[in-house]
Structure 1
Amino acid sequence: MLRSPVGLSKAVVVLLAAVAAVDCAMLHGHLSLYGLMGERAGEGRPASRGDLADDLLTSAVAVLGACLFLATAVVFIIWFHRVRVNAGVFAPEHFGSGPGWAIGAWFIPVANAVIPCRIAHQTWHASRRDPYRRPGKGERPTLVKVWWLLWLVASAADYLAWSAYDDAVAARSFLGGADPAAVRAACLALVVAAVLDVVAALFAALFVRRLSAMQDAKALRGPVPVVPAVV
């Protein structure tokens, strides 16, 4: 049964915008700390606990970001399942697995780096005006590939950057203070990761809007006889 994904897509886009806004706030904090660590390195003294911005505002932004990310992930997966179900109505032969995989695939370690992308590709192709012929103008899955690549790169960058930051901060318990050069390098990595997060959120929003619009337009046109292309 077809159900419009437009309402859910708007919710996803709003949440992605909020996540990007928090990333920008964190980016500002990372840049400020990067500059401060440069001063500490020039002075030849370690970074203190206060220098590392362990304050209520920083903690609040981090908690807000985590909550927004969780909410966005939940709504996105609900939307992803909705468009997969619709695509199964449009062209069921494009899929070798049931729509439940549009939810479950995200929770399988390692496989969640591949299976959701494959489902997105299949859903995109089934949602085209004519899924049995060559893609028309604006129907090529380039946006799917860019969105997924950015998502993987941003996720890896986040993990590596925060790991480097945690390691740099943890060193203070042995040295009496964190090495400002190590913290500065970690801050630079966090800046890169934050920028990638913002760009990934932008392309995720574009992907959600475009696929939802394709399905909405296809549903409004109603059933039409489709003749498979002759090879």
Structure 2
Amino acid sequence: MNTIRNYMFRDPDALVRWVRLSIYAQLAISLIAVVAGYLEYGVLSGIRDGVFASQQAAIDAAEASDARQRLIGLAQIVISVVSGFLILRWIHRANWNARALGARNMDFTPGWSIGWYFVPIMNLWKPYMAMKEIWKASARPEGWQGQIVPNLLGLWWFFWIVSSLLGNASFRLMMRAKAVDELIQANIVTVLSDLVTVPLCLVFLVLMIRIHRMQAAGSGVRDLDLKPLRDNAR
């Protein structure tokens, strides 16, 4: 049974700040990756079209591009892992705090609100349903089932699915690409994946802030100083 006694409210202030910083880092590295991808496309197209003055010039350009891509790719992996860990912690905390605020009969436990992300097939909709429940319970803990969720949640999940599909396609194409045309195809999909990450991060940031503010208002905990984002979060 969900009771306030079992679920004491945990101040998410510091956690939300770290998530926000990690999302900013992910935004930055995604934009850098888009620029680097465009430069890589130029190198690959130049090799395909034979615009380099010599074979050695083409090799040098390709090696420089590969080195740049490896460095950016490593940074993306590190930032994505850190950001993903922090975001999952926040989702767990948000579910926990919704219960602490008095929400009863929630279908998703704090653990399963993040656990469904790792279950194949089910991760196509279960995490969205869990977030939808968190929103409703945060907006009105008592009688939360009747709450209406904004289109923001659907937009967030749309970008998440598209980003996941493009990321998976990019990885598969890159792993089997050998010819220049295949590398160009992989490059295009990768750039698209990086581009989609930008609105995904922005939408999730607004989503997180709005849920945080609803829970903070319900608990009496001091709200975050999010003045630059207040207009977007309303």
Scaled by the length of structure 1, the TM-score of the pair is 0.80
CA distance in 2, matches of 1:140, 1:103: 20
Instruction: Please state whether the residue corresponding to 1:2 is helix, strand or coil.
Output: coil
- Aligned residue type for 2:163: A
Instruction: Please state whether the residue corresponding to 2:78 is helix, strand or coil.
Output: helix
- Aligned residue type for 1:59: R
- Judge which range, 45-54 or 95-104, deviates more: 45-54
Which of 134, 141, 144 is the aligned partner of 1:123? 134
- Judge which range, 77-86 or 112-121, deviates more: 112-121
2:224 maps to what in 1? none
- RMSD, aligned α-carbons: 2.5
CA distance in 1, matches of 2:18, 2:198: 17
1:208 maps to what in 2? 208
Instruction: Please state whether the residue corresponding to 1:51 is helix, strand or coil.
Output: helix
CA distance in 2, matches of 1:146, 1:187: 26
Contact kept, 8 Å, 1:117 with 1:148, in 2: the verdict is yes
Unaligned runs of 5+ in 2: 1-7, 222-234
Q: Greater share of helix residues, 1 or 2?
A: 2
Alpha-carbon displacement from aligned partner over 1:180-222 (angstroms, at most 9, x marks no partner): x33222222111111001111111111111111111011129x
1:9 maps to what in 2? 16
2:39 maps to what in 1? 32
Aligned length: 208
Tell me which of the two structures has the higher relative contact order, counting C-alpha pairs closer than 8 angstroms and 6 or more residues apart.
1
CA distance in 1, matches of 2:210, 2:164: 23
Alpha-carbon displacement from aligned partner over 1:113-139 (angstroms, at most 9, x marks no partner): 22221111111001114653765xxx7
Within-5 A mapping of 1:58-69: 58-69=69-80
Contact kept, 8 Å, 2:102 with 2:141, in 1: the verdict is no
Q: Quick one: percent identity of the two aligned structures? A: 22
Unaligned runs of 5+ in 1: 172-177, 222-231
